[in-house]
Structure 1
Amino acid sequence: MGADGHPDIPPPGARADWTIDQDWSGYGAEEHQVWVTLYERQAALLPGRACDPFLRGLEALDLHDAGIPDFARLNGELRRLTGWTVVAVPGLVPDAVFFEHLANRRFPAGRFIRRADQLDYLQEPDVFHDVFGHVPMLTDPVFADYMQAYGRGGLRALGLGRLHNLARLYWYTVEFGLIEADQGLRIFGAGIVSSRAESIFALDDPSPNRLGFDLERVMRTPYRIDDFQQTYFVVPSLQALLDATLQDFDPIYARLARAADLGVAEILPEDRVYSRGTQAYAASRA
């Protein structure tokens, strides 16, 4: 068993890089209908909430309501736009495998889809979260470069023992990031755009903090894995996010090794505060 809790070797049926065949023809009508239900719900909700690069990517990839996308068809357009592809995996993969795929512009996606009675919450990412949530942003050249840089940085972080810090960067950007737009705050994180409830909560609810993005500050901030976030970070632009990731992380890791973690809902005097949350939702769930 690896240090991240995953087996060291791929499960039966998976290749050495943990990829499997999507077997698109093996999906049943009920599975396709779950995709249609989820897609229609999010597609109606996200205009005016999701950022323009996400909405453009959704349209460019033609992720409409015909059912679970065939990765072979999807990859033709995605590869043309940014050189990325989607590869099917049997579930969560070891960190090193995940980073290796990202570093080579491959996004690992679960093949399975949640059941009809699990529409609003699923502990392990499924094909809707992975493809609807993540892949549209990979059509944007700047974000596509950010994800590749993150993969390369992840391989380095593994060797330096700083993966917990780098994981927070992924969580607060790729999964639960907000971005400034001319019209106000918009969503780009996959964990938000693939969730009806969090698409509303992240922008409208008075409970969470919404703070300006700062790389080291984010990497010192733990996160919630089991409920809505108590803090969201707002990037000024995708280019600013990429630029922050391309710097030398060695001095950052050295400072982080001497710095304590921050409270998940803590606000620092130097934070740019878009909204100071009441934390009422988190208190109600304590």
Structure 2
Amino acid sequence: MDQQTIINSLPLHLRPFVKQQRYDDYTPRDQAVWRFVMKHLSRQLADSAHPIYKEGLERTGIALDHIPSIDEMNACLARLGWRAVVVDGFIPPAIFMEFQALKVLVIAVDMRSVDQIFYTPAPDILHESAGHAPFIVDIDYAEFLQRFGEIGMKAIASHADLEQYEAIRELSILKGCPQSSRQEIETAEEKLAKLCNTEQAPSEAALLTRLHWWTVEYGLVGDCEDYRIFGAGLLSSLGESQHCMDDTAVRKLPLTVDAVMSPYDITREQPQLFVTKSCKHLSQVLEEFAASMCFYRGGTESLRTAIAAQSVCSACYDSGVQVSGVFTEVLCDAVGNATYLRTTGPTQLAYRDREMLGHGVAHHADGFGSPIGHLKDFSRCLSEYTIDELKAHAIEIGQPTKLEYLSGITVEGTLQEVFRQDHRNLILSFSDCGVTDLHGRVLFAPEWGTYDLAVGSAICSVYGGVADKESLQLFKPTPRTSTLRVDVDPSLMACYSLVDRLRQQPAGLDADDGSIEDALLAALAQYPNEWLLRVEMLAVADSNLQQRLLEELRQLGTANKATEQLVAMALGDFPAPHEDRPASA
């Protein structure tokens, strides 16, 4: 299945986040970076990664010698019931989770630069593919990942969370581009710091993100004395996959739901990691947290959580009516039962995740309010009554109608319409209508226009985002923060291409071909600081050239602190020659 076919199979609101992978956009140096990282990762992880990791790489179409194409991956993932799409850097967390719920892996399309081999400030294809994909072959883990997506897409994110996402995305793009100025980066860092320096309690979404970080991204499996790596952030990092095995530097703690109380810093190595016993254990911890979330609990406190978030959320009545908007008020009775809810600004009314005809944001542009609860002398929820039963209670279209709630809220006006679906009364629309509470407060006045009443006796669920995402898109891609493209040196890329062609020839460098050797020597002279080009050449060089390359690499490692460790890793494949020793007496 090709990229466009998969994109066309996605819900409409998710498609704008998906990009096309243009494989030829990867430079020969990008491919060299992939080879270098994967070669050394595979060695480091041989004993420290969960045993399924190596099998998972092979079964999900990820090779060590070249960046995978999304089509290659999808051909393999299809056998596992999953798909993959490429995106541009960070996407909104709720959107990421929704893809995951649909069993779609989100793969950042770009490749980390040679200057960011140890740490990449933005998602890249190596992290997303070689880190996340391999464990999809484990059915229990794949089911856990999908379930995480289902729960994550319901989490309530605060307005501050949404601002922080935009700031993190902007900063990662600037840091990922070598041509960004120091001033641009510092300005973005200050902006993010201001957003993060708040005493506001973390939202549901923020807490769930922490759980995702300590499991999916940085998780260990086994026990605190004997563990293996399964987190994608560790599996795709040359530095942290090694550092995390140091028990003196990194504490190992048993995974519990308390992990959500541990914040993390993406800019430094983690001071502690959490160890899960199994995939079953992962799922148990996830469900334990989910049970505390508003989409499970509903009720007054969940509505208050939505109000505090100041973001678009949805409240679901027990009748099935869904109200999506920015909630600003909830009235309660003396024992804490929610009796009336109110939104401000554009609001959507939906049923079974589909916007009800005539009840989108165009109709409810200025907000929405409606009672919650049972009516006096009604034995069951008003939604369950037939039209004839409504008439028996003096509720008839075209006639004056008075509804009295147990809470003391009164709705009085002329009934104009009953919106019914699945044999349920969902919305009652009134003209010349007044709504007051027990204390005489006016909740709706006749001169305000048509009053639409949502039918329902309780709020059974409250969650982040909107009910019908096709009709009301909460998130939209932001072109102003598209990934910055870096200019490349065509001559340098031609040097990498030449070496790559030689690498693919069984004989490597033919000593008799002077023109090729001259081209390689010219490349070395033209790019004296290009350490990765020299590493690539080692695989094709004859013995004489190899000795020169090794010496130049040693000099580069000594002269440049930034590349010292990388050069040392490369030189590890080529032991230094023994010094001449005098014969013993």
TM-score range (shorter-chain normalised) is: 0.7 to 0.9
Q: Shift of the alpha carbon at 1:115? A: 1.4
RMSD: 2.6
Aligned counterpart for 2:129 among listed residues 110, 128, 131? 131
Correspondence 1:96 to 2:137: no
Three-state SS of the structure 2 residue aligned to 1:157 is: coil
Distance 1:22 1:146 in 2: 28
Correspondence 1:204 to 2:249: no
Distance 2:68 2:85 in 1: 12
* Residues 1:64 and 1:218: Cα distance change in structure 2 (over 3 Å): same
> Would the aligned equivalents of 1:133 and 1:191 in 2 still touch at CA under 8 Å?
yes
Query: What per-residue deviation string (whole Å, max 9, x for no partner) do you get for residues 110-147 of structure 1?
Result: 11101122211111111111111111112211111111
Runs of 5+ consecutive residues of structure 2 not aligned to the other structure: 1-12, 159-202, 305-585
Larger relative contact order (CA 8 Å, sep ≥ 6): 1
Distance 2:135 2:68 in 1: 16
Correspondence 1:234 to 2:278: no
TM-score (norm 1): 0.78
> Would the aligned equivalents of 2:52 and 2:135 in 1 still touch at CA under 8 Å?
yes
- Partner residue of 2:421? none
- Partner residue of 1:271? none
Q: Shift of the alpha carbon at 1:109? A: 1.1
Distance 1:50 1:248 in 2: 27
* Residues 1:177 and 1:47: Cα distance change in structure 2 (over 3 Å): same
What amino acid is aligned across from residue 220 of structure 1 in structure 2?
A: M
Distance 1:112 1:137 in 2: 22
TM-score (norm 2): 0.39
What amino acid is aligned across from residue 254 of structure 2 in structure 1?
A: G
Segment of structure 1 superposing worse, 152-161 or 125-134: 152-161
> Would the aligned equivalents of 1:168 and 1:222 in 2 still touch at CA under 8 Å?
yes
- Partner residue of 1:37? 36
Q: Shift of the alpha carbon at 1:241? A: 0.7
Segment of structure 1 superposing worse, 163-172 or 149-158: 149-158
Distance 2:52 2:37 in 1: 20
Segment of structure 1 superposing worse, 233-242 or 152-161: 152-161
Q: Shift of the alpha carbon at 1:73? A: 1.3
Q: Shift of the alpha carbon at 1:194? A: 0.8
* Residues 1:114 and 1:181: Cα distance change in structure 2 (over 3 Å): same
Larger CA Rg, structure 1 vs 2: 2
Please identify which structure carries the higher strand content.
2
Distance 2:114 2:289 in 1: 45
Runs of 5+ consecutive residues of structure 1 not aligned to the other structure: 1-13, 258-286
Distance 1:17 1:150 in 2: 23
Identity, in percent, stands at 29
Q: Shift of the alpha carbon at 1:174? A: 0.7
Distance 1:58 1:181 in 2: 24
> Would the aligned equivalents of 1:17 and 1:97 in 2 still touch at CA under 8 Å?
no
What amino acid is aligned across from residue 35 of structure 1 in structure 2?
A: W
* Residues 1:159 and 1:28: Cα distance change in structure 2 (over 3 Å): closer
Three-state SS of the structure 2 residue aligned to 1:211 is: strand
What amino acid is aligned across from residue 240 of structure 2 in structure 1?
A: E
> Would the aligned equivalents of 2:61 and 2:76 in 1 still touch at CA under 8 Å?
no
Q: Shift of the alpha carbon at 1:31? A: 1.3
Distance 1:189 1:57 in 2: 13
Query: What per-residue deviation string (whole Å, max 9, x for no partner) do you get for residues 178-221 of structure 1?
Result: 00079921000111111111111111241221000002x01111
Show the 5 A alignment for 1:39-188. 39-81=38-80, 83-158=81-156, 161-180=203-222, 184-188=226-230
> Would the aligned equivalents of 1:128 and 1:194 in 2 still touch at CA under 8 Å?
yes
Segment of structure 1 superposing worse, 177-186 or 94-103: 177-186
* Residues 1:120 and 1:159: Cα distance change in structure 2 (over 3 Å): closer
